[in-house]
Chain A
């Protein structure tokens, strides 16, 4: 890094310029390798030597993506701000973990991350594909080639035009830094997790395509099933982490807001869940061949569609996540890939998939109640729900087609619709484990489930009593209603009881069956655990939102506020000044039971390059098992008036509850020279009384220096300027102590959200482990086993 003699700016080191070129070339090389691999598989896909070569090219192609992301991380770590992407999203003073996380904080890097996670699953799966390798490889490589194509246009390795002069590339000393609201530990762990989930969706898609093209629609089930379980587990964990991130940092007190970006990741998870259960039926009864072929591609296709929807700018107005507009060519590739793949997939399904299913068709299902019926019901309901969420997130686009600007679907509307699908699915999830694969009578089913139903009902009643009892929680305000479809309403408490019953029923039913079957077989334990986790998670989300209480007020030094039954008193500041990124505002909170705790919401200010500094706040969450107390801090308020006021001598002005009379101007010292002091004698009437004040401004070397004068006990005033000709002054009234606007949320049983996430993920991985393809034994289960849950 040689400083340039003329500009004083350091030159960009040659290794970095080389590395940037290397990153670019890597991506282009990857594109070429994937295309050659596709061609070899397509043309000479039956010759073992050619397959070997194509596989090697495929794996090398995946390697180029890893190399590219490695280079990008190195550029961030070494502060190479001559690259536009690094300059826009990185900063010199951030810690190492944030520098690495900066890789995926924007468009280009997140596409690269998607490519890398997908490539990773490609390497993990390609050798186990057996008879499907040829078409699996082609389908998989097509997607990775498209990602490489997008990355050649949407490249994170472009140099900044401003950093290049006279053929020399300079190294800007600092970047613009990671957006303050992203600077949180979740930015390090959440995106890689959820993108691992997204990347794994390609596996199911490629298997389904290969199954249709190879003509064997049975063998793929055993191969794709464990990966579907892995995918659902990771994606589910990623979704939960996203919710936790929102909860811990956003300050609106919730986990899930039905934002389009959230829905885009939720829909593939729903399809994965449906596919898992479809596989169970095909594995056990050799039916559902066609529907599984269709479902196999849905998680991936839904995610590609969602990515297109959110990145294309079509939802620009609706989402809280705004995206930089994508490079036109990159968007063309994404759109072309989406349209072509969807068209090919559905054509394949209609022309080959259904024919394959007819070939393998087995007898009609037995009459009466059997587990397959429950699975069919659940899979259809979950798939429909996924379709409905897709419709909801596309609604602004759909309605805009009719002209005008379209309309958006928001949380209350989603909640109306979700319940229609949620309640039936929960009932099926609770009862299905008690139903055998062979038919049974309704009476037998009732005998097997009656104790579970009674126990669940009892627990629900007990739970609702505890939750609505003031001794345990905060009293409900009473008379609240939830909006139901078609303009109807329902009282909140019975409605929450219905939803809670669904969760408890699933939990009790699955624990019951887990205990019953554990003596014979543990292979279905993962399923029971996952269902228990899901029920726990849902109970946490429903109760913490349904019984949520919120109050807002201002807190000031010496003026505590009572929010709900909590008394919030300002205690002080912690940190090295207002720009300290670890700065906190301390509040003492007295709980209704008399105990105290200290709330420490984060607060700091940062440069924005504009007149007003930016303000970042983080909520404080006091977590206990029974409830969370969530304190959200808003930027403190110091100015009383909307804008500074101009006053002329001898006039009186009333602004809000304040009346100011300008009595007379004063001057002191040598006029027009340093040391001269101008003042205004003012009479200010505040709600606290009438006060005579004398704000002044002194001319000094650096400019004008105002002094702050007290106006009664609660206010103060300063004068920013005085007109030399007519002696009019500009004054602003301030609060003596800043006002801290706070929201306090009381949220019961949020602990269940964390607990449920853990149990659900554990159950998912346990199932994946149980269903992993073993080389020795043929994974085939006897009919009417109790094993598959």
Chain B
């Protein structure tokens, strides 16, 4: 009984440790633009307030240009490659996933957050992921 508990406890510990390692390696870091410039990872999360008037689609190149104000307060130009998320017009905050390309943040995935009216549970399921 005791030996069994020790074995299952050890296996459980190993499993949790392995999960922690995987999470540490697989976690996608949130950055500001100044941090992004120093990092090589191309799965960086740049979160910020969307400057709505700057949203301009470029149909011929299948891209979307917009600016956001990151958590440092810096205004960053983002070039997003892919389909425009349906609720982009309602968005107040966006998380652009990608990498820094000089002074421009190049993204291939957008997580769009809409105003506080979106609040509730209802929409279980749902990042507006649009991988191109």
A interface vs B, CB < 8 Å? 88-89, 104-107, 109-110, 176, 178-179, 181-182, 186-187, 190-191, 194-195, 239, 242-243, 245-247, 249-252, 254-257, 259, 261-262, 265, 317, 320-324, 364-365, 376-377, 380, 384, 387-388, 391-392, 395-396, 399, 404-410, 412-413, 416-417, 420-421, 485-487, 552, 608, 610, 612-617, 632-635, 637, 639-640, 642-643, 656-657, 739, 741, 743
Q: A320-B128, A634-B86 are in contact. Are A412 and B118 (CB under 8 A)?
A: no
> Which residues of A have CB within 8 Å of B71?
405
From B52, B86, B112, residue with most partner A Cβ within 10 Å: B86
Q: Is B75 an interface residue (CB 8 A)?
A: no
Interface readout for B7-25 with A: 1 if CB under 8 Å, 0 if not? 0100010011011111101
How many A-B residue pairs lie within 8 Å, measured between CB atoms? 233
> Which residues of B have CB within 8 Å of A614?
89-90
How many chain B residues touch A (CB < 8 A): the figure is 62
> Which residues of B have CB within 8 Å of A635?
84, 86, 88-89
From B56, B59, B114, B121, residue with most partner A Cβ within 10 Å: B121
> Which residues of A have CB within 8 Å of B93?
317, 322
> Which residues of B have CB within 8 Å of A251?
86, 128
Q: How many whole Å from A118's CB to the nearest CB in chain B?
A: 15
Contact of A409 among B27, B32, B122 (CB under 8 A): B27
Q: A320-B111, A640-B59, A739-B59 are in contact. Are A261 and B121 (CB under 8 A)?
A: yes
A642 and B58 form a contact (CB under 8 A): yes
B114 and A246 form a contact (CB under 8 A): no
- B61 (CB) vs chain A CBs: closest residue: A656
Contact of A246 among B28, B116, B125 (CB under 8 A): B125
Known: A392-B23, A639-B59, A741-B83. 6 other contacts (CB 8 A): A109-B120, A187-B122, A194-B124, A417-B23, A486-B25, A640-B59
Contact of B113 among A88, A322, A613, A637 (CB under 8 A): A322
- Nearest 10 CB-CB pairings of A with B: A246-B125, A242-B124, A413-B26, A407-B27, A405-B30, A642-B56, A324-B116, A407-B29, A179-B117, A317-B47
Contact of B118 among A322, A391, A420 (CB under 8 A): A322
B113 and A320 form a contact (CB under 8 A): yes
Contact of B89 among A190, A321, A408, A612 (CB under 8 A): A612
- A405 (CB) vs chain B CBs: closest residue: B30
Q: Is B50 an interface residue (CB 8 A)?
A: no
Q: Is B67 an interface residue (CB 8 A)?
A: no
- A247 (CB) vs chain B CBs: closest residue: B125
Q: How many whole Å from A300's CB to the nearest CB in chain B?
A: 17
Contact of B122 among A190, A396, A410, A613 (CB under 8 A): A190
> Which residues of A have CB within 8 Å of B18?
420, 485
A107 to B122, CA, bound (A): 11
B126 and A417 form a contact (CB under 8 A): no
A613 and B114 form a contact (CB under 8 A): no
Q: How many whole Å from A10's CB to the nearest CB in chain B?
A: 25
Contact of A105 among B12, B95, B111, B119 (CB under 8 A): B119
